Amino acid sequence: MQEETILQIEDDEDVLEFSSRIFTDAGYHFFRAKTIEAGLLIAKEKLPALIILDYLVGDRTAIEFMTRLSNEQQYAELPGTPIILLSGRSDLMNVLEAYFDQGLRAVLKKPFGMRELLNVVDNILRLERARFRNCKSSSMFRELPPRDDEWWEEVSLSAETIVGLSREIYMNSSNWDTEKGLMDVFAIYNSSMRLVQLIQKKMPADTSLSSAMTGRA
């Protein structure tokens, strides 16, 4: 398998050094940035498979990074890049709501172990590698017209979010009544609604979503 690129944006040099060892040993190609601006430049140049982003980098926040990544034309190849957000705050649910549709895949609450972070990265990238294969093989898409790359990208990202977060909730049932658990459920709901909208947009006029899923015309 080709070595995948990870970019971490973090202003703590000790954290970056430790991350570099962990991810390099795991077979990833690791890049680092200590400012939001440097992170944007490296992301544009290297097109990483995944970005690890601290919520507060210097005096600037992850919100600025994700907003610019999604909205500025110079980063047109990057929207949808999986992002893992790291934060010690527990009041970010409302702030981050919109970004689950723009690449945000997971929020890790500090403190956490580096092995935990590595496991999250591995799982997200495994889902990334499987997303188109899973969508292509699904019977619910049999009646759809030829693939539109931009549309398929949105469908795949929504489906991946649902699968990944559902698995996380199943594996960590004790988190149901925590803010993280509620955030995951909310993200699943939003992604599910978006997925339905995307599929319906491509359905032939005389075909319903339920009939496509069951194979009936």
User: Structural domain boundaries of the chain?
Assistant: 5-214
pLDDT band at 196 (very low <50, low <70, confident <90, very high): low
- H/E run at residue 180: helix 179-202
pLDDT band at 209 (very low <50, low <70, confident <90, very high): very low
More confident residue, 17 or 111: 17
7-21, 135-149, 152-166, range with the lowest pLDDT: 135-149
Q: What count of other Cβ atoms lies within 10 Å of the Cβ of residue 37?
A: 16
Cross-strand partners of 108? 86
Nearest in space to 184 (alpha carbons), one of 172, 195, 196, 199 = 172
Question: What are the b/e assignments for 74-86, b being 16+ CB within 10 Å?
Answer: ebeebebbbbbbb
Q: How many residues does the chain have?
A: 217
Domain 5-214 has CATH 3.40.50.2300: yes
Judged on CB neighbours under 10 Å (0-12, 13-18, 19+), 3 is exposed
Tell me phi and psi for residue 99, to 5 degrees.
-85, -10
Its pTM stands at 0.62
